[in-house]
Amino acid sequence: MKFRIGCLTIILLPLVVGFAQQLPIPRVEMMPNQPAPYFMRDWKQVALAYDLLVFNDTATGQYLPVFWWNTATINYPNHISFGLHSYVGTFFPNNAEAINVLPAVIGATLAGIDKSNQNGHNYVLYCEEFFNRRPEENVYLNAPVAHSGADWWYDTMPNVFFYQLYDLYPGTGDFAHQFTTVADRWLEAVAAMGGSTTPWQVPYMNYRGWHLASMIPNATGVPEPEAAGALAWLLYMAYVETGQDRYRIGAEWAMEFLDGWNTNPAYELQLPYGVCIAARMNAELGTSYDVQMLVNWCFEVGPLRQWGVI
């Protein structure tokens, strides 16, 4: 079981027909096979240097430190937490985002640092403060006290990053309880979106976000149908960890919505996770999701944000 993924690697490896012919990605075919000049940064060293900089609470200089201690924890008041500035020179130095904090801990760990015991601190444990421990939420959100529904990207990705953190440090704090609670809440949401087994029905997920407190959609603003990819990834990982078929069914609901969507849903980072899990489900369950279509959506410029690979 591995929840942490290098998405591009996982996406490209399954793109074979009969394990023989790799499917082309038109946007990649436009790129030179051997760029010149070419220089590969030492990304491990970059990650180590980044950790040394951003976790230094005594750093001096303009806009430093970018680290702060949270001694007024709410969700887990039995221990402190911490925050990192979302950008250099922030006007909100005592705010922090889960989509910044959790990946910083994950990245440092993958570079070889034990973040559960660094300079006398368990930064992994401190991350659980982002689990909004209230019945109306009970998932990871982008801030310790937040409300789901405004923007799916800020609601799904903290949970994706938490699952990756759980994979690296499974015995930490309240992680075991949080793991299944996150899966249960999102499964409940996907069912409320229309997912059903009697008869089989695919949920409708073309929304800006989903209010977990009321189990109703946010249909205003730019929609994020790619959230189906992140939710499919979460639910399938819950199935892999627990073996409970209800999570697999939820993953299939979400993936069938994404696979059946007729325009490029790319918005932020949720779509690549859908591609990864589509390939894995095809390999492990024998499903037939259109991985070629999904992966090309990741590279092509889509209509929602006009982003892509240029």
The string of DSSP codes covering 70-97 is E-S-SS-TTS-EEEE-SSTT-S-TT---
Looking at residue 5, its pLDDT comes to 46
Percent over 70 (pLDDT), the chain: 93
Separation between Cα atoms, residue 194 and residue 217, nearest integer Å? 12
Q: Are 92 and 147 in contact (CB under 8 A)?
A: no
Residue 154 dihedral angles phi and psi, to the nearest 5°: -80, -10
Alpha-carbon distance of 22 to 292, in angstroms, equals 10
**With 50 as the cut, is the pLDDT of residue 85 above it?**
yes
H helix intervals, the chain = 7-12, 26-29, 43-54, 98-110, 123-126, 152-168, 175-192, 227-242, 245-260, 270-285, 291-299
- pLDDT score, position 188: 99
CA distance 57 to 205: 42
Is 0.85 surpassed by the pTM of this model?
A: yes
pLDDT value at 13 more than 70: no
The string of pLDDT tens digits covering residues 113-122 is: 999 999 999 9
- Average confidence (pLDDT) over 155-179: 99
Residues of the chain above pLDDT 90, percent: 86
| Confidence check: pLDDT of 123 > 60 | yes
pLDDT at 1: 52
Of 195, 73, 231, the residue nearest 144 (C-alpha): 73
